């Protein structure tokens, strides 16, 4: 079987779950004797593959981060233009004998639909997030929604990263649930190391990820417990969050790391005692699996996709910062809780392999080829 897969990012260059997913998926599919040409925009860092039947094909150039939400009109113009240019280039460049096209999220949907029509082969679409998620359900942008809707309608099969996301696709985009398969994400385990007294937030600093709730909970924790809070990542909310920490009077206990390298990310997961993912909207949340695989007990938002799939974590409503603080303090104070969550989490994480994701994805492929 030969697949033309169209993505936007691939390690070492990645900013979100999409890149992580594409990496794990393509490598495990290649191990199952599926040939894949993986198309992505050319970036400063070039990506490559050490597998014969997995070829990374870079098309055109871009400096656009797919998860940025451009507020400036001029920037927004460049942003949309760049996405269009990439999609147009793809339609010209993707040639050859393929059994199907598999694309990921709105960034690649226009090309996916055009190629399906041009080449007359089936289209699979994986939805990692929708416009509703990225906007935190506040003022979603119709321009994105229309692209997403068209892609979903034209796709022969859709893979959703959670039942939560499947529901959004059915209810908000009016798609037939029968053509949607849920495949939960996976993780390459990071491994444990010695813990320090650190409570971690790691993710894009955007409204979707709920970093302001993390800081509110931090304030409540610090009234009862001595610990340090780390906010790792970059995003449009960074200046606001720094002011918030100062206003709350906790800036001496909160560290903003800025952008971390892949090695630094692993290290911070390993030394943190608690990981908190207070996302307002989270289709899956691979970072939770990463933290757990580093032996770090994790508190996740109840509505996150990972929350429906993974048993051994703590759950909170993202807005309930009292309960978030209660759970953070309990994890810091009660060693048996921390230990049991770490142990049970580590056992459960073994089920979340890319091999399983590849198997489930292959099942979808086989249903249409």
Partner 1 sequence: MPSVCFYFEVHQPMRLNRFSVFNIGKNDESLSTYFDSKLNQKIFEKVAKKCYLPTNRLLLDLINEFNGKFRISFSLTGTFVEYCERFMPEVLDSFKDLFKTGAVDLIEETYYHSLSSLYDELDEFEEQVKMHHQMIKRIFNYEPKVFRNTEAIYDNRIAKKIEELGYKGIITEGSEKVLGWRSPNFLYKPVNANLKVLMRNYKLSDDVGFRFSVRDWPGFPLTADKYAYWMSHCEGDVINLFIDYETFGEHQWTETGIFDFIKHLPRAVLKHKHLDFVTVSDVVDKYNIMGEIDVPWAISWADEDRDVSTWLGNDMQIACFNELRDIERKVKKQDDEDLLHAWRLLQTSDHLYYVSTKGFEDGNVHAYFSPYDAPYEGFINYMNILQDLKQKVM
Smallest separation (angstroms) from partner 1 to the CB of 337: 6
Quick check: bond before 12 cis, omega within 30? Answer: yes
Burial class (CB in 10 A: 0-12, 13-18, 19+), 145: middle
Contact 280, 207 (CB under 8 A): yes
Given the complex with partner 1, which of 82 and 330 has the nearer CB atom?
A: 330
SS3 285: coil
Smallest separation (angstroms) from partner 1 to the CB of 208: 24
Length reported for the chain: 369
351 binds partner 1 (CB under 8 A): no
Smallest separation (angstroms) from partner 1 to the CB of 308: 12
Smallest separation (angstroms) from partner 1 to the CB of 254: 20
Name residues contacting partner 1, limited to 210-269 (CB under 8 A): 220, 224
Torsion angle, alpha carbons of 328, 332, 337, 341, to 10? 70
Q: Which residues contact 326 (CB under 8 A, 6 or more apart)?
A: none
Smallest separation (angstroms) from partner 1 to the CB of 315: 7
Output the furthest CA–CA distance in the chain (Å, rounded).
Answer: 63
Name residues contacting partner 1, limited to 275-334 (CB under 8 A): 311-312, 314-315, 322-323, 325-327, 329-330, 333-334
Which of the 8 DSSP states describes residue 58? E
Given the complex with partner 1, which of 57 and 163 has the nearer CB atom?
A: 163
SS3 149: helix
The region of 96-104, 135-143, 283-291, 338-346 touching partner 1 under the rule CB under 8 A is 338-346
The region of 32-40, 46-54, 119-127, 340-348 touching partner 1 under the rule CB under 8 A is 340-348
Given the complex with partner 1, which of 209 and 220 has the nearer CB atom?
A: 220
Sole binder of partner 1 in the list 96, 120, 239, 336 (CB under 8 A) = 336
Q: Which residues contact 109 (CB under 8 A, 6 or more apart)?
A: 103, 125, 147, 148, 150, 151
Given the complex with partner 1, which of 69 and 315 has the nearer CB atom?
A: 315
Given the complex with partner 1, which of 263 and 335 has the nearer CB atom?
A: 335
Smallest separation (angstroms) from partner 1 to the CB of 331: 9
DSSP string, 60-122: EE----TT----SHHHHHHHHHHHHHHHHHHHHH--S--SEEEEESGGGHHHHHHHHHHHT--
Number of residues binding to partner 1, judged by CB under 8 A: 22
Binding-site ranges for partner 1 (CB under 8 A): 220, 224, 311-312, 314-315, 322-323, 325-327, 329-330, 333-337, 339-341, 344
């Amino acid at each position: 079987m030969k697949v033309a897969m169209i993505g936007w990012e691939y390690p070492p260059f990645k900013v979100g779950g999409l890149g992580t997913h594409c990496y794990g998926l393509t490598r495990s599919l290649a191990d199952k004797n599926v040939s894949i040409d993986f198309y992505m925009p050319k970036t400063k860092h070039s990506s490559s593959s050490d597998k014969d039947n997995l070829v990374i094909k870079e098309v055109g150039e871009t400096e656009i981060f797919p998860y940025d939400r451009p507020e400036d009109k001029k920037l927004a113009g460049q942003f949309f233009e760049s996405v269009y240019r990439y999609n147009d280039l793809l339609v010209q460049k993707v040639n050859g004998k393929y059994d199907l096209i598999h694309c990921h999220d709105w960034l690649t949907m226009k090309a996916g639909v055009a190629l399906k029509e041009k080449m007359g082969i089936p289209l699979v679409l994986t939805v990692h997030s929708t416009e509703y998620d990225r906007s935190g359900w506040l003022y979603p942008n119709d321009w994105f929604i229309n692209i997403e809707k068209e892609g979903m309608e034209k796709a022969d099969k859709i893979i959703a990263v959670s039942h939560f996301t499947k529901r959004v696709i059915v209810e908000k985009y009016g798609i037939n649930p029968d053509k949607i398969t849920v495949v939960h994400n996976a993780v390459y385990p990071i491994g444990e190391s010695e813990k320090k007294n650190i409570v971690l937030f790691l993710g894009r600093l955007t409204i979707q990820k709920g970093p302001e709730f993390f800081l509110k909970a931090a304030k409540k924790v610090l009234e009862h417990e001595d610990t340090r809070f780390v906010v790792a990542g970059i995003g449009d909310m960074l200046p606001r969050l720094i002011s918030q920490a100062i206003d709350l009077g906790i800036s001496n206990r909160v560290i903003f790391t800025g952008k971390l390298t892949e090695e630094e990310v692993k290290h911070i997961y390993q030394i943190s005692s608690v990981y908190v993912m207070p996302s307002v909207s989270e289709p899956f949340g691979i970072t939770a699996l990463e933290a757990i695989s580093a032996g770090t007990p994790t508190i996740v938002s109840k509505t996150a996709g990972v929350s429906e799939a993974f048993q051994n974590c703590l759950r909170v409503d993202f807005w309930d910062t009292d309960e978030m603080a209660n759970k953070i303090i309990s994890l810091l104070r009660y060693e048996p809780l921390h230990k049991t969550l770490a142990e049970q989490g580590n056992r459960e994480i073994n089920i979340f392999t890319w091999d399983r994701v590849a198997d489930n994805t292959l099942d979808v492929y086989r249903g249409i080829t």
